[in-house]
Amino acid sequence: MQKKMIEFKDVVRTYGTGEALQKAADHVNFTVDEGEFVVILGQSGAGKSTVLNMLGGMDRPTEGTVTVDGETISGMNDKQLSVYRAEKIGFIFQFYNLIPSLTAWENVALTKDIVKSAADATSMLEQVGLKDHANKFPTQMSGGEQQRVSIARALAKNPRLLIGDEPTGALDSETGKLILDLLIKMSHEQKKTVVIVTHNADIAKCADKVIRMKNGKVREIVKNEHPLSVEEVEW
């Protein structure tokens, strides 16, 4: 039996008060097993990024509990969340968010300042196929290359959980496929739990589990018995 990695239990996240009260997440319940590749799918405003932010320790639920790797993160203070993000989470952004004034190698190597056990930056870049781009600055690289650096940076911390907010959203389909393939490999070969949010339904075809959200609620959770390979997907 697979170990339960993530559990969202009756999670509510509201913004504003009174008449302006908005429920970005409304009694969200789901679980994710260790090593699963999960896609949270939904249109803009569905609440998927809110869920991802809570999962990433960037936001806290108003109600309910979020448990990751056996730890209830919803009750953590800022300092504990910072440690959680440092040790457990690897975050991949839609627009890569690399530090423009650091080279690819330096962007990855800065993880040493976050966790002492961070992996060697050169080998991480090698893993994502960018060993030769180590001395390039982000502006000297394509979007796909930047995203690969971003993945290398996320992986360098050796996190239990990789989360991505539209990680292929800013890329063309070919480059997007490369990135998606890389993430799936991380999940299946390195047993990393990967959760990404996207509005692209085609990506969901490659996922082990798909969580569909609408208006802040989980509408459907589908376990994909036969996920497609990246080559089979078109978008």
Partner 1 sequence: MLKRKMLRELKGDLGMCISVIILSFLAVLTYCGFNGDVIGFRKELKNFYQQTNFADGWIYSEGFSKEELEAVRDLEFVADAQLRTQITGSAPDYNNAQTNIYLEDENIVTMPLAMEGVPFDPQDVDGVWLNQSFAKAWGIQVGDTFTAEYEGVSITKEIKGLVMTPEYLYTCADNDADVNLANLAYIYLARDAFPVREVLKTAIENESITGADLSGFSEELENMPKSMLLALLDQISDERLQEFIPATTMIFTTNTDEDVMGYEKQISDALHQNYAAMINEHMIIGVERFIAETQQHEMFSYTFAAVFVLIAVLIIATSMARLVERQRVEIGTMNALGIRRRKIALHYVSYSLFLSLIGAVLGFFAGLYGMARAMIDMFSEWYVIPKAEVAFDGMAILVIAVTVGACALASFIACYKILRLPPAQALRPAAPKMARRTFFERLPFWKNLGFASRYNLRDISRAKFRALMGIVGTACGMVCAVFAFGCVGLVDDIDDWIFDRIQNFAYEAVLSENASVTWLDETVGEVDGELVMVSAIELSTAGKNVSSEEKTTQNLTVIEGKGLYQLTDPKANTIKLAPGEIAITYRLAKSLGVEVGDTVYWHLYTENTWYESQIGVLSRSPETAGIAMLREDLEKTGCRFSPTLLVSDQDLTAYQENANVSAVYEKEELRRIFLEGYEVLNLMVYIMLIISLVLIIAVLYNAGNMSFHERLKEFATLKVMGLPDKKIRRVLNLENLWLSIIGIFLGVPFAQPLLVAMMNSNGDNFDYYLHINPIYYLLSGAFALVVTLAVGYLFNKKIRGLDMVETLKGTE
Q: Which stretch binds partner 1 (CB under 8 A): 3-11, 40-48, 54-62, 125-133?
A: 54-62
81-114 burial, b if ≥16 CB within 10 A, otherwise e?
beebbbebbbbbbbebebeeeebbbebbbebeee
Q: β-pairing, 63-68 with 4-15?
A: antiparallel
CB of 34 to partner 1, least distance (A): 20
Q: Determine the residue type at 16.
A: G
Residue 179 interacting with partner 1 (CB under 8 A): no
Q: Compare residues 30 and 93 and give the one whose CB is closer to partner 1.
A: 93
Task: Count CA within 13 A, CB hemisphere, residue 107.
Answer: 29
Cβ within 8 Å of residue 113, ≥6 positions away: none
Give the one residue of 76, 115, 221, 228 binding partner 1; rule: CB under 8 A: 115
Please tell me what DSSP assigns to residue 186. Answer: H
Residue 101 interacting with partner 1 (CB under 8 A): yes
CB of 153 to partner 1, least distance (A): 7
67 alpha-carbon distance from chain centroid: 16
Give the one residue of 11, 53, 124, 179 binding partner 1; rule: CB under 8 A: 53
List the x/- string, 138-157, binding to partner 1 by CB under 8 A. Answer: xxx------------x---x
Which residues make up the interface to partner 1 (CB under 8 A)? 53, 56, 58-59, 78-79, 82-87, 89, 91, 93-95, 97, 99-102, 106, 109-115, 137-140, 153, 157
